[in-house]
């Protein structure tokens, strides 16, 4: 996820750190602890604070003369910079919480926005050199806290906006409109309470990792949640009547073939029956409709599919429609879930594929002559998961995936499985033979001497047809003395910075550079490339860089340059080389590529997805696994156009939706857990302009059609993707 802006930001910070260590003639430099947190959403004052806390932070505000920069411990320098960055992010989280408590939503959002991202990226760069697992965990904790606090800020602001709409409807005497807004407020308030628990828990994690007291921030977050909760209680009391739901089961032992038969009664809080009407009931996240009699009694049947067999109870929840005058209520029944083994049969499957090719399989799940819907079917080649899909009304599921590089070529097995080992419905896996063909590759390499004695090496790894190959190791040898292994980025590129001083050659020598990709354990064929670079030795007899010595002697108004100053300036040159080394870790940025195995989508917790519930099943999982590309990286719908050209309209729509969502999710405050329609609502609430918002809506509708519709077709995919591409090719809404 790291782009060139991160390298430049880190360079600026590190240069200030080193510059802080350059001794002036006859002067004593000091280092002090930061004076306190910044309370603004703007710059962190890097030019002052970084110099003040450079190299090694001193306890108890003590001072010391700076060491010669050439002799200062590199690890100590990194610890000081890491601490400074950690403090800046903690300041922004804490101040953002206070701003949120005060209703300053834009300031609260800004404090965990771009500036925070910059600090986090610099933090990741610095800890990348410490090789400490705990540091990596700290970076994750900072990122999770940022996301959760940003989402909480968005939801609280959305609550305020919806509350204003609610009050306006009340003032106009429009009870139906007021009730509609009140239902929205209920859902948002639930989000706020959930995010409150998440944010407070993440504050505790950061407190344990950094030793910083975040009690003021925690108090602010609790105040915000309490305010929302109290207002929601008043709204509910004004517009709705509370209910009581009681449920009992004929038998606690249930299975798919022996379903739960539950009887119950729905009354108001005063005991009056909610009589003679249809009521929606939610069981394990699936909605059923029951009808009450004159006494409010009802009967409902539930057939378990994907719940776990170790589940001991089921919650039954009354979920009234938006226009209803009643509030929700729930009850639980004890259950003992028995597993049923169904029959899984393959109807058709891909029999041969190469890297990046689509692998399809269609399977059918039955028990006797009964088709089973709503059960996930998984496809895998060996240990590599390719994808999953839910069975439809006919018990059929069509699973699609792309063959990644990690599946070795040769005769393999495509295995389909249903449910899971502990699911209410499972089946014995079935396998079909599949031939994995090897794919020729093309490797390039280029090298040039850049700053001082640094040699920059870069290149790309692609298939012979030009498809970029991600996350693969490339061994780079420079001369006879240096051999390192780097990994390709999402665009197939790699780069490496080598200190020419390690080569052991004299100035003017021609150095050979060789790159090699072995392809071991993959379906990709071996490839190599070579080039040469003319090496210019920059070191004179004194051991000091001649170019630097000459530059200093020519520019400074005093005589011979002191060794201390020269050493400090030399440290800057070395630092540049170190930063070039950092670049290789971030050769490409984020993105999806078939060379990496796909993320395994979360299992549905119930059978809700069988009824096209956007909160369950693989659709919600496939939309935003993992981090999407940075908005700065731009959108590229070329893969979608390629899928259209190949006739796969559904896959083109899926790619376009996921690609666009990954591009704008952070900007609109969309959470990973948001459904496709919640993502659209985030875009609308964020103020996205009309044409772009219309394009998002059209894309969301098309995505819903291909992901949940019976035929999974998208007849207007060509027009749709062209429209989306045009809307985002302009800068009108940046």
- Tens-digit pLDDT profile for residues 410-461: 999 999 999 888 899 999 999 999 999 999 999 999 999 887 888 999 999 9
d(CA 214, CA 203): 7
Strand bridging mode 430-436 / 352-353? parallel
pLDDT at 279 over 50: yes
670 φψ region: left (φ > 0), alpha (ψ -120 to 50), beta (else): beta
pLDDT band at 56 (very low <50, low <70, confident <90, very high): very low
Q: Kindly tell me the sign of the dihedral angle through the C-alpha atoms of 335, 341, 347, 349.
A: positive
Mean pLDDT of the chain: 77
- For the whole model, what pTM was predicted? 0.57
Q: Kindly tell me the sign of the dihedral angle through the C-alpha atoms of 16, 17, 20, 23.
A: negative
Q: Kindly tell me the sign of the dihedral angle through the C-alpha atoms of 283, 162, 188, 616.
A: positive
pLDDT at 590: 40
Helix (H, G, I), strand (E, B) or coil at 223: helix
d(CA 328, CA 318): 5
Helix (H, G, I), strand (E, B) or coil at 83: helix
List beta partners, residue 326: 241
Residue whose entry in the numeric block shows the structure tokens 């798919």: 256
pLDDT at 275 over 70: yes
pLDDT at 220: 96
Helix (H) or strand (E) holding 13: helix 4-19
Provide DSSP, 179-219. Answer: HHHHHHHHHHHHHHHHHHHHHHHHHHHHHHHH----HHHHH
Q: Where are the beta strands (DSSP E) in 491-598?
A: 493-499, 510-517, 527-534
Tokens found for residue 587: 């050769």
Q: Which range, of 377-381, 494-498, 588-592, 675-679, averages the lowest pLDDT?
A: 588-592
Give the strand order in the sheet containing 482-487: 482-487, 473-478, 510-517, 527-534
- Tens-digit pLDDT profile for residues 359-416: 999 999 999 999 999 898 999 998 898 988 889 999 999 999 999 999 999 999 999 9
Instruction: Report yes or no: 53 and 77 within 8 Å, Cβ to Cβ.
Output: no
pLDDT at 133: 59
pLDDT band at 462 (very low <50, low <70, confident <90, very high): very high
pLDDT at 346: 96
CB atoms within 10 A of CB 276: 11
Tokens found for residue 408: 């070795």
pLDDT at 31 over 50: no
- Residue 62 burial (CB < 10 Å; 0-12/13-18/19+)? exposed
Q: Kindly tell me the sign of the dihedral angle through the C-alpha atoms of 638, 644, 647, 650.
A: positive
The domains found in the chain, sorted by start residue, are 4-239 (no CATH), 243-337 (2.60.40.10), 340-436 (2.60.40.10), 441-586 (2.60.40.10), 624-729 (no CATH)
Percent above pLDDT 70 for the chain: 70
CB atoms within 10 A of CB 399: 23
d(CA 51, CA 141): 27
Tokens found for residue 651: 């896959």
Instruction: Report yes or no: 68 and 36 within 8 Å, Cβ to Cβ.
Output: no
- Tens-digit pLDDT profile for residues 551-564: 444 444 444 444 44
Query: Among residues 667, 663, 655, 669, which one has the least CA distance to residue 703?
Result: 655
pLDDT at 679: 86
Percent above pLDDT 90 for the chain: 48
pLDDT at 581: 43
pLDDT at 569: 52
d(CA 359, CA 387): 10
pLDDT at 132: 60
- Residue 499 burial (CB < 10 Å; 0-12/13-18/19+)? middle
Mean pLDDT of 221-234: 96
List beta partners, residue 384: 381
pLDDT at 249: 94
Q: Which range, of 93-107, 273-287, 478-492, 567-581, averages the lowest pLDDT?
A: 567-581
Tokens found for residue 376: 């996930």
- Tens-digit pLDDT profile for residues 191-208: 899 899 999 999 999 999
Tokens found for residue 434: 């599949």
pLDDT at 540: 44
């Amino acid at each position: 996820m790291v782009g060139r802006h991160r390298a430049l930001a880190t360079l600026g910070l590190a240069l200030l750190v080193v510059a802080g260590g350059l001794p002036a003639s006859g002067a004593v430099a000091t280092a002090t602890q930061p004076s306190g947190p910044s309370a603004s959403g703007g710059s962190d004052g890097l030019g002052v604070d970084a110099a003040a806390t450079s190299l090694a932070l001193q306890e108890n505000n003590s001072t010391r003369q700076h060491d010669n920069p050439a002799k200062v411990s590199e690890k100590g320098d990194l610890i000081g910079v890491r601490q400074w960055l950690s403090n800046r992010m903690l300041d922004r989280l804490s101040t953002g919480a206070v701003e949120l408590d005060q209703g300053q939503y834009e300031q609260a959002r800004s404090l965990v926005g771009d500036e925070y991202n910059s600090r986090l990226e610099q933090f990741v760069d610095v800890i990348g050199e410490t090789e400490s697992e705990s540091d990596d965990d700290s970076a994750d904790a900072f990122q999770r806290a940022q996301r959760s606090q940003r989402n909480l800020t968005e939801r609280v602001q959305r609550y305020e906006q919806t509350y204003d709409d609610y009050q306006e409807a009340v003032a106009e005497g429009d009870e139906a409109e007021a009730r509609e807004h009140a239902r929205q407020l209920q859902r948002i308030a639930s989000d706020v309470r959930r995010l409150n628990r998440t944010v407070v828990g993440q504050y505790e994690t950061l407190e344990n990792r950094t030793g910083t007291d975040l009690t003021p921030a925690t108090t602010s977050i609790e105040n915000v949640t309490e305010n929302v909760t109290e207002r929601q209680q008043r709204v509910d009391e004004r517009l709705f009547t509370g209910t009581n739901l009681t449920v009992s089961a004929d038998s606690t032992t249930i299975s798919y073939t022996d379903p739960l038969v539950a009887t119950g009664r729905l009354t108001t809080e005063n005991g009056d029956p909610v009589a003679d009407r249809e009521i929606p009931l939610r069981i394990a996240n699936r909605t059923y409709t029951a009808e009450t009699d004159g006494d409010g009694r009802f009967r409902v049947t539930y057939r378990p599919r994907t719940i776990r067999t170790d589940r001991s109870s089921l919650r039954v929840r009354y979920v009234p429609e938006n226009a209803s005058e009643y509030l929700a209520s729930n009850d639980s029944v004890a259950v003992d879930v028995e597993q049923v083994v169904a029959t899984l049969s393959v109807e058709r499957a891909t029999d041969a594929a190469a890297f990046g090719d689509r692998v399809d399989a269609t399977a059918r799940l039955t028990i006797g002559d009964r088709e089973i819907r709503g059960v996930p079917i998984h496809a895998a080649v060996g240990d590599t998961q390719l994808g999953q899909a839910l069975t439809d009304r006919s018990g059929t599921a069509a699973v699609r995936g792309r063959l990644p590089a990690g599946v070795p070529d040769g005769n393999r097995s495509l295995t389909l499985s249903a449910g899971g080992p502990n699911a209410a419905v499972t089946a014995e896996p079935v396998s079909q033979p599949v031939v994995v063909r090897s794919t020729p590759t093309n490797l390039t390499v280029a090298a040039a001497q850049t700053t001082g004695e640094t040699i920059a090496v870069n290149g790309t790894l692609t298939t012979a047809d030009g498809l970029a190959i991600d996350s693969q190791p490339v061994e780079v040898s420079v001369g006879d003395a240096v051999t390192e292994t780097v990994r390709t980025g999402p665009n197939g590129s790699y780069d490496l910075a080598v200190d020419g001083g390690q080569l052991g050659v004299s100035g003017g020598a021609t150095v050979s550079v060789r790159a090699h990709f072995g392809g071991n354990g993959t379906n990709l064929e071996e490839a190599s490339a070579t080039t040469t670079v003319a090496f210019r030795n920059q070191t004179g007899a004194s051991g000091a860089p001649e170019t630097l010595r000459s530059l200093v002697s020519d520019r400074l108004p005093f005589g011979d340059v002191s060794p201390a100053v020269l050493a400090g300036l030399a440290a800057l040159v070395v630092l540049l080389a170190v930063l070039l080394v950092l670049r290789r870790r971030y050769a490409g940025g984020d993105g999806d590529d078939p060379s990496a195995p796909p993320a395994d989508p979360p299992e549905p917790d119930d059978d809700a997805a069988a009824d096209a519930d956007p909160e369950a099943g693989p659709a919600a999982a496939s939309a935003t696994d993992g981090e999407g590309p940075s908005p700065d990286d731009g959108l590229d719908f070329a893969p979608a156009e390629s899928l259209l050209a190949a006739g796969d309209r559904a896959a083109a729509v899926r790619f376009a939706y996921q690609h666009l969502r990954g591009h704008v999710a952070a900007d609109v405050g969309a959470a990973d857990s948001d459904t496709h329609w919640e993502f659209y609502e985030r875009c609308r609430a964020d103020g996205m302009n009309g044409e772009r918002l219309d394009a998002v809506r059209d894309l969301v509708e098309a995505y819903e059609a291909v992901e949940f519709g019976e035929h999974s077709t998208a007849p207007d995919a060509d027009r749709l993707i062209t429209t989306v591409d045009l809307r985002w090719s302009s800068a009108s809404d940046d």
